Chains A and B, each alone.
Chain A
């Protein structure tokens, strides 16, 4: 087949969704920034002005990404991954601390957050590793190596401390699952989360009792031939041990502000002026939106600056307040459409490399989308992750753009594969 130009094969649906989200994001940042005291002229020192510069720069980035040969990303995956690990490690020496987190490099007047770029690099590395025909995720050694690729950035990010970004990397497990990692990994992870929450809500003895009943039910419901009393006992002991350790971890390992966030979410504590302030204010802002919202630039909660960090992690509150239920649902649907589109394209790739990468893109975007919005509307603990393409900030915008457009390039190049 003849080499074809990128523009003919580029997926314009993805591009349109991307442009729509970025545009909406900028408009919202503009609104969150415009307080009645602001200057009436356009000011590049304001956040909306800077974001516009960031957006202008992404155009350049996109052109570069689409120009580079698609094979480059496969060939240099390990190099890119290695350098992003170095950048993460370098933070311990040269990083800049903002609000207690050492996640940034200060370059001139700007700050750069390497973990945003490590997401694309890790997705590339995983894709590269899994696309080797000799790798089989049923094999324990290969499982460990794959988990290691995923785990290295987490190890470097957790002590920064940046639990939000670490959580994103953990969700690469969805990619491994798609590629044949035994399902029990996922189920045990899921089970651990459920047990964790239950242990916080209930006394440990009740949780242990419930675990016992569940394990026993499973034992007696499975066919006689599959019953394994030792395995079941081991599972039960693991569950009980986990439950008991949760209490310890919660009280001794977690910091007070982590405990507070869980307690608020679980309704165990009400403190609206202190730690619950963010979530409460964001719920008020969104809740006051009603069906159609108060209108663009008309949000009173937004203008009163009641919601902290509104232009970054809490940007969705402005959408909720000014565009109401209709607008926020449309935004949610835009995200769903984009992620599903990426998955659809990934499933139709001809090489395993680009399929795994595309899946990684979808997993990262989905996690960000879900964790961020759930946090803002109060169904998830407060974990600081940005909303892709909307939140203010150069690093996150560029990180997501690189992530997405490498895949767009791979997809456009699909016709050249055979």
Chain B
């Protein structure tokens, strides 16, 4: 008897559970709530989107109320179209087009008829809402930007499109969601969860109260406020410095990987992408295919980095013991390698060791270092792979895993790259020597450059760059608190940092000193070409500058890229030092330099390209026209001929 008690209980429980399941899942159909059910009206309660603050707690993005007019096409009764259109300032054609669009989406489900009304329009419509059956007003909140900067950081809010609705059942027609920037990355946190109310209606479509005592209703969950690592003042200053130029600035706090400023130029005022003028403005930004204001250059601009890459050439050389700090090479205004090929150098020539090699950015020194590094190993393949491994440990050649939705991998070649390029083998270190000075197959984005500097500042480790500092009531991703250690020993960073500091004393940026701050930096100049009319045309060089400061206990690591800005020290250099001074001292002593930068415009430079481009397009068109003319003439002739023979 005692033996049977537990087995008995188990069997009884199982029967009880299965019976209950049968009731819940098969018999009781109140649980199979269907959205097509015409007698139930679904009302959403949209929570307010979370606020966005900067690292010092300054409010950057808040909300303002907005109102959408929703329509359920099937419920429209005859209405005074004229009155309706006048009230909302739309034409009758608009009206018909919008209704047709709504019907295509669904005759039974609500969709947005007219979005983002302001308070006045809302008040006017609300008064007469009951006259227009099938239409109702849905309240939402829109962004209210407190600063005129950081458009690329924030991203914008847009209506969920068909593709998103199909992929994610949370979103319904008319729902808003974040696109680009932190609005996209932290969409789930910022938006909260909308509440749903099911309202029972009788056969006259009158609402008679909550459906099933509201057991299917859910409560809205407020969006979470987030704090960014951005320093709003620095961000604004960076955008001001980049006026009338194209390029990007990215500043990182080395000790934490926090992004202090993320500037892309040209940019736009985030406020223009709010409200009813949004779609017109967006189209304008989207169609600007030359300046590309929606393209975040600080994350996406992938270029051969040029001289800043020499830092890594030196570190890799030291690590594999191809060189030491006293190795010296002779620079004859360049150096020749393999079969009469010659790499030019503007450093002034002479005997170069590591320290002055960095300071003067001597191509010959780094070309030789690179050859020694690769030749240290039995085969060039092995050498390239070891070198590539060291360089990649700085986060290059990969998406770094930062919390912004766009990015580029960059490129660090490996032996595979060259096996593909030289399928018959036979390539040697000399064939790929341009990698040593950041040309060749090497590609980097500004954020990778800044991260490289942060790693050098930390003497061998970095934290994945990130823009989130705090999410209310939630921890930030653990990966942003994990140290990434490079494959280069700490001791090799010291001499390289000394060289970077020399750059500001006697090197390529000696005239860019800042009173009271010891900066370590490196200039860079990237050649760039455009294909115009099928021909490769050389354009003005891109100006690049990377730096960190102060030398002891660094607070900021920065990379600046100015497209077609010339030498690294002419445009990007002054911007870098101004940013550093602004961040560390909070005020600017180098007033002249600031004025020069603010006034500098590269527009004429960009117009040149545009002119060339348009010219080539014109030529192309002329050519095409003449070809067509000739062809049509031939055709006409042949027809004439044919008729003649007949």
Contact = CB atoms under 8 A, between A and B. Distances in A.
Interface of A: 35-37, 45, 109, 174, 177-178, 180, 183, 186, 270, 272-273, 277, 280-281, 283-284, 286-291, 300, 303-306, 320, 324-325, 328-329, 332-333, 335-336, 339-340, 343, 347, 359, 362-363, 366, 369-370, 373-374, 377-379
B193 A300 contact: no
A186 B6 CA distance: 12
Nearest to A374: B17
B31 A284 contact: yes
Given A36-B168, A379-B20, A287 B13 contact: no
A290 B25 contact: yes
B3 A178 contact: yes
Interface residues of B, number: 41
Contacts of A281: 218
B26 A291 contact: yes
27 contacts: A36-B169, A45-B478, A177-B2, A178-B6, A270-B213, A272-B213, A273-B219, A283-B31, A286-B21, A286-B24, A290-B32, A291-B25, A303-B169, A320-B21, A329-B21, A332-B14, A332-B17, A336-B10, A336-B11, A336-B14, A340-B7, A362-B6, A363-B6, A366-B13, A369-B13, A377-B17, A378-B20
Nearest to B212: A272
A305 B217 CA distance: 14
B578 to A, nearest CB: 39
Given A36-B169, A177-B2, A366 B31 contact: no
Nearest to A285: B31
A337 B512 CA distance: 79
Contacts of B193: 305
Given A272-B215, A290-B26, A325-B26, A377 B21 contact: yes
B218 to A, nearest CB: 6
Contacts of B170: 36, 303-304
Contact of B6 (A183, A286, A305, A366): A366
A336 B13 CA distance: 9
Interface in B9-39: 9-11, 13-14, 16-18, 20-22, 24-26, 28, 30-33
A174 B9 CA distance: 10
B5 to A, nearest CB: 6
A280 B6 contact: no
A280 B215 contact: yes
A23 to B, nearest CB: 21
B407 to A, nearest CB: 14
A57 to B, nearest CB: 19
Nearest to B13: A370
B9 A287 contact: no
B3 A347 contact: yes
Contacts of B3: 178, 347
B214 interface: yes
Contacts of B281: none
A273 B214 contact: yes
Nearest to A290: B25
A143 to B, nearest CB: 15
Given A339-B10, A377-B21, 5 more contacts: A45-B477, A45-B478, A272-B214, A283-B24, A374-B13
Interface in B510-546: none
B11 A284 contact: no
B77 to A, nearest CB: 32
B239 interface: no
Secondary structure class of chain A's binding surface, majority of residues: helix
Interface string B189-214: 00001000000000000000000011
A32 to B, nearest CB: 15
B490 interface: no
Contact of A359 (B6, B14, B16, B219): B6
Contacts, number: 119
B18 A287 contact: no
Contacts of B17: 332, 370, 373-374, 377, 379
B216 interface: yes
Most buried by B among A36, A183, A186, A343: A36
Contacts of B25: 286-287, 289-291, 320, 324-325, 328
B22 A325 contact: yes
B188 interface: yes
A174 B6 CA distance: 7
Contacts of A177: 2, 5
B187 interface: yes
B26 A366 contact: no
B167 interface: yes
B97 interface: no
B537 to A, nearest CB: 40
Interface in B472-487: 477-479
Contacts of A333: 14
B218 A328 contact: no
Contacts of B216: 284
Contacts of B167: 36
A284 B196 CA distance: 14
Interface in B214-255: 214-219
B180 to A, nearest CB: 15
B528 to A, nearest CB: 34
Nearest to A369: B13
Contact of A340 (B10, B26, B477): B10
- Smallest CB-CB A-B distances: 3 pairs: A287-B31, A36-B168, A325-B25
A363 to B, nearest CB: 7
B210 to A, nearest CB: 9
Nearest to B20: A377
B168 A366 contact: no
A332 B187 CA distance: 38
B471 to A, nearest CB: 15
Contacts of A287: 24-25, 28, 30-32
A292 B176 CA distance: 34
B2 A332 contact: no
B217 A273 contact: yes
B357 to A, nearest CB: 42
Given A45-B478, A284-B216, A370-B13, A180 B6 contact: no
Nearest to B9: A366
Nearest to A306: B218
A264 to B, nearest CB: 12
A272 B193 CA distance: 17
Nearest to B30: A287
B214 A109 contact: no
Contacts of B31: 283-284, 286-288
A300 B169 contact: yes
B386 to A, nearest CB: 28
A186 B478 CA distance: 50
B167 to A, nearest CB: 6
Most buried by B among A287, A289, A359: A287
Contacts of A304: 169-170
Nearest to A288: B31
A288 B32 contact: yes
Contacts of A35: 168, 188
A215 B621 CA distance: 107
Interface in B316-367: none
Contacts of A180: 2
Given A288-B31, A291-B25, A304-B170, A174 B13 contact: no
A333 B193 CA distance: 36
Contacts of B10: 336, 339-340, 343, 366
Given A45-B479, A343-B7, A178 B2 contact: yes
Contacts of B7: 340, 343
Most buried by B among A289, A324, A347: A289
B385 to A, nearest CB: 25
A281 to B, nearest CB: 8
Given A36-B169, A280-B215, A288-B33, A328 B2 contact: no
A325 B217 contact: no
A115 to B, nearest CB: 22
Nearest to B32: A288
